[in-house]
Structure 1
Amino acid sequence: MKIRRPRRPRGFRLADSAQQLVGGFLLAGPFVVTEEVWTLAGNMSIFQALGTVAVVFATGYAALYAADTTRDKSDEPRLLGIPVRFISLMSVSFGSVAILALLFGAPSTFLDTTEVDVLAQTTFKAVSVGAMFSVVGAATADSIFVK
């Protein structure tokens, strides 16, 4: 009986970002168009939103490097000391929610104000909430399609 060592994932490629995009957009969509998310965001403090951002970062890091024991972050290319895969994951997680929110016109649909600062703050908070789910989809898609 021949014992096989698990294959080590290859370095980060553009295809990995594409996989993250698919997963991120897939799970971001339903939260962008849900009135409850925008109501919740409107009632959150900026500190709650920043806490949510921190949880998204922690969840993404754990999904990429703690849950996937075959991936070694020290083997991955880095930008300013941060693994490029992680930077891509965070960009996709927050970016997919922000892009969909703006494309769908969600802030003006769900918020009863024209004050730019209120719109911007509430949109930031809603994006942080949506990113909680988008990061799971993006990290899962990245991890599932390892070749």
Structure 2
Amino acid sequence: MRIRRPHRPPQFRLADSAQQIVGGFLLAGPFVVTEEVWDLASNMSLAQGLATTAIVFAIGYATLYKADSTRDPEIEQELAGIPIRFISLMCVSFGSVAMLALLFDAPDTFLESGQTSVQTLLITFKAVSIGSLFSVVGAATADSVFSK
């Protein structure tokens, strides 16, 4: 008789985050340095920025757990009930865009000089949400393709 051990959640490794980072940065770069993205962000309302952020979360979750039938969020390692892989994906998706935007000084380059710090912060948030739409696709795809 074979003894069955309880199923252990798949380990989330540093290599998984590294794969996400490569994919996230690959698709984030072109959108951070595009003036049209910053113009869009300047004209978006806060509600549109929040809706764009929600879409990034939805795309990330769907790509990780719905498009890949071998992955089950119920058995993955969790932090506060959220799969660590998904948390990492969101950090990479938004973080890569935000990091590049600040590294390239995009807010000062593309935004008008007469804006308040709060206005600059809000526009930057919206620009990051736009760039993250593309970054999440690259990060989730790299994670799914290379984690097999």
TM-score (structure 1 length as normaliser)? 0.92
**In structure 1, what is the equivalent of residue 108 of structure 2?**
108
For 1:45-64, what per-residue CA distance to the aligned partner results, in whole angstroms no more than 9, with x for missing partners? Answer: 00000000000000000000
Name the amino acid aligned to 1:35: E
Runs of 4+ in 1 over 2 A off after TM superposition: none
Segments of structure 1 that go 5 or more residues without pairing to the other structure are 1-8
Task: Point out the more displaced range, 45-54 or 70-79.
Answer: 70-79
Q: Any conservation in 2 of the 1:25–1:96 contact (CA below 8 Å)?
A: yes
Cα distance in 2 for residues equivalent to 1:59 and 1:11: 23
Superposition pairs for residues 1-147 of structure 1, below 5 Å? 10-113=10-113, 114-147=115-148
CA contact (8 A) 1:63 1:139 kept: yes
- TM-score of the superposed pair, with normalisation by structure 2: 0.91
Provide the alpha-carbon RMSD of the alignment. Answer: 1.2
Aligned-pair identity (%): 70
